[in-house]
Amino acid sequence: MSDHQDSLAASTWLPLLTTRYMGRGQAEVLQEATSTNTLLKQMALSGAPAGSLCLCESQTAGKGRLGRIWHSPAGQGLWLSVLLRPRIQPEQAPLVTLCAALAMAQAVNETTGLDARIKWPNDLVLEGKKLCGILLEIGFAASGIDYIVVGTGLNVGRSAYPAELAHQATSIADHMTPPPRRELLVRYLAALEETITRLENDGFAALAEAYRARSCTLGSMVKVSGSEEFTGVAEDIDETGGLLVRDQTSVLRRVLAGDVSVRGVMGYV
Ligand code: BT5
């Protein structure tokens, strides 16, 4: 695909938007950024409205969780951050990651037919390998949540990740000729508006069925590592986004953070 056909210039996708506000605030579209999350946080602090976004062709300091690096080579992905100012309680904030994961899984499926699955909490996987990572950054005010920046790194092109990650990473181009990135963007923004609106109005219960249908974690054997280490079967998500895992002594335990490996996914056997 030539650069022109796969342009992310706002003029190519703004007319395609089907949303009420998502993607319609301020839009910063850059050739190169340090991190779209970092830039959008600055925009949030300067008063940018909900639905504003920042996206770029390449990131020089793409961030994962816990200071990890997110590889974001030029033209190879949808390196995108969206600004939300959701009407939810602070303890519900982790659910926004789940909303974004569901929205991106739906967008990938609708535009490519590929069966992207959600690995709780913040990964999308395709045939057991990581296709997309999500990073939430939250700003609080005295009254509650001020803003949430939702960053998504979706691998689209053949060179989206370095060769040393080939055992655990994948890209749409590993499976098919990718659609123009603006199609993924427009579908994601529409799906994100819907999942966030449902969360605001009715809580996660309104999304649970759709989430479960796209999850590769629920119903699977998982290994939890971090402050507590145990294995068990992931049974459900609770009302604040925690994962409920039944351990080998049949006790249901709530996992809020930490790393969860799913058997058969991203190199865990
Ligand atoms: C994540 O962290 O998965 C969150 C990634 C969020 C990236 C987006 S891009 C737009 C926005 N701006 C930013 O600066 N960030 C967001 P985590 O679960 O910690 O996973 C990080 C790990 O994924 C790394 O340690 C690598 O092992 C692996 N990784 C790095 N780049 C990758 C890539 N392009 N594809 C697949 N895996 C990758």
Residues 161 and 155: beta-carbon distance below 8 Å: yes
State percent of the chain over pLDDT 70: 98
| pLDDT at position 5 | 86
Which residues in the chain land under pLDDT 50?
Answer: none
Q: Whose CA is closest to 23, among 185, 198, 201?
A: 185
What pTM does this model have?
A: 0.97
Residue nearest to atom 28 of ligand 1 (CA): 70
Q: Spell out the domain ranges in the chain.
A: 10-214, 221-262
Return the residue matching tokens 């949030």: 44
Provide the residue type at 259 as one letter: D
* Mean pLDDT computed over every residue of the chain: 95
How does 177-187 read in b/e, with b if 16+ C-beta sit within 10 Å? ebbbbbbbbbb
In degrees and rounded to multiples of 5, residue 259 shows phi and psi of -95, 135
The response to whether residue 68 sits with its C-beta less than 6 Å from ligand 1 reads yes
* Ligand 1: centre distance to CA 113 (Å): 23
Q: Is 193 helix (H, G, I), strand (E, B) or coil?
A: helix
| pLDDT at position 3 | 64
Provide the residue type at 185 as one letter: L
* Ligand 1: centre distance to CA 151 (Å): 10
Q: What is the dotted CATH code of the domain comprising 10-214?
A: 3.30.930.10
Pocket probe mutation, ligand 1, options 30, 41, 70, 167, max atoms within 8 Å of Cβ:
70
**Do 10-214 and 221-262 have matching folds?**
no
CA distances from 189 to 52, 81, 99, 166, 261 (A): 11, 11, 11, 28, 29
Burial of 107 (0-12, 13-18, 19+ CB in 10 A): buried
Residue nearest to atom 2 of ligand 1 (CA): 64
Q: Which atom of ligand 1 lies closest to the CA of 36?
A: 12
Q: What tokens appear for 51 in the block?
A: 């639905």
β strands within 106-226, DSSP E = 117-119, 123-126, 129-141, 144-155, 221-225
Is the four-CA dihedral 89, 46, 63, 30 of positive or negative sign?
A: positive
Residue nearest to atom 20 of ligand 1 (CA): 64
CA distance 101 to 95: 10
Residue nearest to atom 9 of ligand 1 (CA): 153
| pLDDT at position 228 | 84
Q: What tokens appear for 197 in the block?
A: 């609106």
| pLDDT at position 153 | 98
Topology of the domain covering 221-262? SH3 type barrels. (2.30.30)
The response to whether residue 51 sits with its C-beta less than 6 Å from ligand 1 reads no
CA terminus-to-terminus distance, the chain = 36
| pLDDT at position 184 | 98
